[in-house]
Amino acid sequence: MRKLTVKNFSVIKEAELEFGKITVLIGPPSSGKSLLCKLTYFLEAQVIVIAVESLLNGNPWTDFVRAAARDFNTWFSTDGWLRRNSKATFSSQKYTVEICGPYILSAFNNLIYAGQLAKEKPELKDEIAKMVPEHFWIENGNFRAYCIHDGQLKSILSESGLINGDYLDSVSETIGNEFDSLLRLEYDHTEAS
């Protein structure tokens, strides 16, 4: 499992972020989305670069620790974490964190629902693919979505695996109509059965 855990770091009071193949963060400006992405990148990629450079130069472990601490202080202002009992931890392989708004979340809901509907009703697969190309479908369990609100990170996925409707403001008519078409297709097929 790929995970980033953060506590008392800048605007983030507490966050435990589990990554799927696709992970989405939403929240108001200055809520910590970019900070979580920057931490993710630093802790996974940048620390490895520092470690490799240290090893290639034949430096001892203490030099690596000093170099990592120096770079961390360059990337992140000490005002946000030094005196706050801050903690940032990660466990991962390579992963990507995306920052996007409600419009993109609506599109993700369509991709998730198309995959769910095709799995539940395989006989509709061709019709679903006409609305949402099959190579874009998202399988259950491969998607995570979170919102940062008042410094707290919360999942915004409903029990159905779709993004909670409360977070889907500003949806375009095209994306909304596509989702409605998928619902109608399911309903029409259920009624016909």
Q: Answer yes or no: is 88 within a domain.
A: yes
- Residue 74 shares a structural domain with residue 127: no
Q: Answer yes or no: is 149 within a domain.
A: no
pLDDT at 181: 83
Residue range(s) defining the domain that contains residue 7: 1-99
Q: What is the dihedral of CA 155, 158, 161, 166, to 10 degrees?
A: -90
Structure tokens belonging to residue 46: 């940048």
pTM: 0.57
Residue that finishes a domain, picked among 99, 134, 166: 99
Q: Domain count for the chain, please give it.
A: 2
pLDDT at 169: 52
Find, among 157, 146, 156, 151, the residue nearest to 32 by Cα.
151
Residue type, 191: E
Find, among 138, 118, 116, the residue nearest to 128 by Cα.
118
Q: Answer yes or no: is 150 within a domain.
A: no
Q: What is the mean pLDDT of the chain?
A: 78
Q: Answer yes or no: is 147 within a domain.
A: no
The predicted-structure confidence for 16-36, as pLDDT tens digits, reads as follows: 888 888 888 888 888 888 889
DSSP secondary structure letter of residue 185: H
DSSP secondary structure letter of residue 164: P
**Range in 28-32, 77-81, 150-154, 177-181 the model is least confident about:** 77-81
- Residue 118 shares a structural domain with residue 88: no
Helices (DSSP H) in the chain: which residue ranges? 33-41, 47-56, 61-75, 102-120, 125-131, 173-192
- Residue 13 shares a structural domain with residue 77: yes
- Residue 31 shares a structural domain with residue 112: no
Q: What is the percent of the chain where pLDDT is above 90?
A: 9
Given a contact cutoff of 8 angstroms between Cβ atoms, the answer to whether 80 and 9 are in contact is yes
The predicted-structure confidence for 54-112, as pLDDT tens digits, reads as follows: 878 888 766 776 777 778 767 877 666 655 567 777 775 554 444 444 556 677 788 89
Given a contact cutoff of 8 angstroms between Cβ atoms, the answer to whether 36 and 12 are in contact is yes
